[in-house]
Structure 1
Amino acid sequence: MQDSTALGEFLRTRRGRLKPEDVGVASYGQRRVPGLRREELAQLAGVSATYYTRLEQGQSTNASEAVIDSLARALDLNDDERAHLHDLARPAPAKRRRPTKFATVRPGTRQLIDAMGDVPAVVMGRRNEVLAWNRLGYLLLAGHYAFDAPDRIGDRPNLARMLFLDPHHRNLYVRWEEEALRAVASLRVVAGRHKDDRELAELIGELSMKSPEFAAMWSQHPVATCTFGTKYFQHPEVGDLTLEFEVLHLPGDSGHRVLMYSASPGGASEAALRLLRTRVSR
């Protein structure tokens, strides 16, 4: 994925969602496509229409921080989108051919999630690959997999791939489209930060080819860090669960994260999670 292409795509999608009347631009004549025209956005951002056009078409890759900030203000971007725009505008690092290392979870992290017996927990790499899970996390999300699947080089589970290509995992989510859009938005953030990640690009290419739904969502260029929220499950063994999730980023630059779930005390979801927990000791 070329960063200039992604930058232009992102700018077009955000320009397309702005209405002239919302930003004080007088609208004349029939518009063939929704949103602001390039020259209108350029005027709002204080740059020349020619320069903005080159930027959107990927013909200019050296925009200053000040120009990017001006575009972010003109496009009314939120904090996640603003950070993503800056990531896309930075030149990609020089390509280095290095052997791909099989990512592993730190022993201390594995010990930590194993000690959290009452909390479903999963350790993910930056591409949403599962590095480890505790028993309850495994039973909640992927009981149809082998428990040691994260330790296998050939068929390590990936939560994004499972969400779009694994019918068993997909059926867990009552609000699948909401969950899918959240996953795509998170992948967009990672892709913007790691333009030289070949494995990430291959994952995105695979999902785009095999899942029309992923391809459609990816083309909308959603962006969000998705570090907390609510997920709605329909589990084949314990029924419906409404669980809060939190994502904690581990120290260092590995991009490893711990995904944890919890249920409100005293509710039906806590009872269902407790029932699922009884399987851990079997």
Structure 2
Amino acid sequence: MAGTDMTEQQGRPAFAELLVARRGELRPEDVGLPAGGRRRTPGLRREEVAVLAGVSADYLARLEQGRDTNPSMAVVDALATALRFNETERARFSWLALTTGSESRCPSTAFDPSLDQVPAALRAVVDALAPAPAFVLGPRAAVLAWNSAWAELAAPLGLLDGPEEVNLALWTFRHPLARTAVTDWAQFADLQADQLAHTRLRRPEDERVAAVIETLCAEPEFARRWQPHRLAEDTPSLLGFEHPTLGALTFTVQTLAAERDQEVVIWLPRTAAARTPDLRLVPTRSADNDRVISREHG
């Protein structure tokens, strides 16, 4: 599954792939059109989307085939409306339109080893968040650095078992403790699959993202959830655990975007979240006790 999909991705821009995939997902009744008779292929006809968006069918064909990679934002907005994208999907659809087909506007998305290196400033942020568990998440769901508070939670869950890499997506679908420890495992699993799909659209040439997806596609639960053209929904704000040593836990998840396709993820205990409406990056322990633990990647 993944191998074929990756080959198709190399032959057509992600924006074009998404246009074709979304058109195939929608039914006539989804956009206010009569269902009509049998169709040779599922989804909307190209002519129907063109009419809904106010563009010619020939122009839409050029966009879908990757022959035109510079649509105006007015056209992108009209297509997003015609394809019934919600606000989150519309924003990401627009991002793909802006960054596809032009190397001058879109830098190479091939794997860059520096993406696994956590800048000192970002480590300081994670350190300052203690005692709240926090970690740095990379583009392929790899946890690149974390503080001791997160390690105390993660170690009994088996998240730190891997000798070379800590990866949330791999843990979710392959570690036996994940399904019993995460309170709403199905929602968490959907999130991991959706975020990898979004990363793949943004980084189509990154072989390490492709390798993680290829590995996970061997897992039936991931394969069932895998929709390569899906635009990830907003991240759920609550995360619950039946922790093997600490019992029932509920966290409010907050994310701070950083450079280099990295982000800081904070698991803020619900009691602390209720008392702290504004997140403050103030250390409450010594730097020695709360140093960020990181691993180098080859």
Bin for the TM-score computed over the shorter chain? 0.7 to 0.9
Q: Deviations over 1:120-141 (max 9, x none)?
A: 1111112221111112212323
| Per-residue deviation, 1:19 | 4.0
Mapped partners of 2:61, 2:249: distance in 1: 48
Counterpart position of 1:270? none
Mapped partners of 2:79, 2:245: distance in 1: 50
Counterpart position of 1:276? none
2:143 to 130, 153, 157: 130
Counterpart position of 1:91? 101
Say whether 1:261 aligns with 2:245.
no
State the structure with bigger RCO (CA 8 A, min sep 6), 1 or 2: 2
1:163–1:170 Cα contact (<8 Å) kept:
yes
Counterpart position of 1:217? 225
Counterpart position of 1:64? 71
1:254 maps to amino acid? R
Mapped partners of 1:146, 1:217: distance in 2: 22
| Per-residue deviation, 1:98 | 7.9
Q: Deviations over 1:165-190 (max 9, x none)?
A: 22223432122121111122222222
Mapped partners of 2:92, 2:133: distance in 1: 30
1:214 maps to amino acid? F
Pick which of 68-77 and 185-194 moved more: 185-194
Counterpart position of 2:156? 143
TM-score normalized by the length of structure 2: 0.73
Mapped partners of 1:219, 1:96: distance in 2: 20
Distance 1:199 1:234, change over 3 A: same
2:253 to 232, 245, 248: 245
RMSD over aligned Cα, in angstroms? 3.4
Equivalenced residue count is 261
2:241 to 233, 244, 247: 233
TM-score normalized by the length of structure 1: 0.76
| Structure 2: stretches of 5+ with no match in the other structure | 1-5, 274-288, 291-298
2:135–2:150 Cα contact (<8 Å) kept:
yes
Distance 1:213 1:10, change over 3 A: farther
Say whether 1:175 aligns with 2:184.
yes
1:39 to 47, 61, 73: 47
1:264 maps to amino acid? R
Pick which of 215-224 and 65-74 moved more: 215-224
Say whether 1:103 aligns with 2:103.
no
1:84–1:192 Cα contact (<8 Å) kept:
no
1:228–1:246 Cα contact (<8 Å) kept:
no
Distance 1:177 1:13, change over 3 A: farther
Mapped partners of 1:133, 1:194: distance in 2: 24
Identity of aligned residues (%): 36
Pick which of 45-54 and 75-84 moved more: 45-54
Mapped partners of 2:20, 2:111: distance in 1: 34
2:268 maps to amino acid? S
2:237–2:252 Cα contact (<8 Å) kept:
yes
| Structure 1: stretches of 5+ with no match in the other structure | 268-279
Counterpart position of 1:25? 33
| Per-residue deviation, 1:112 | 3.5
Distance 1:148 1:22, change over 3 A: closer
Q: How does 1:68-87 map to 2 (within 5 A)?
A: 68-87=76-95
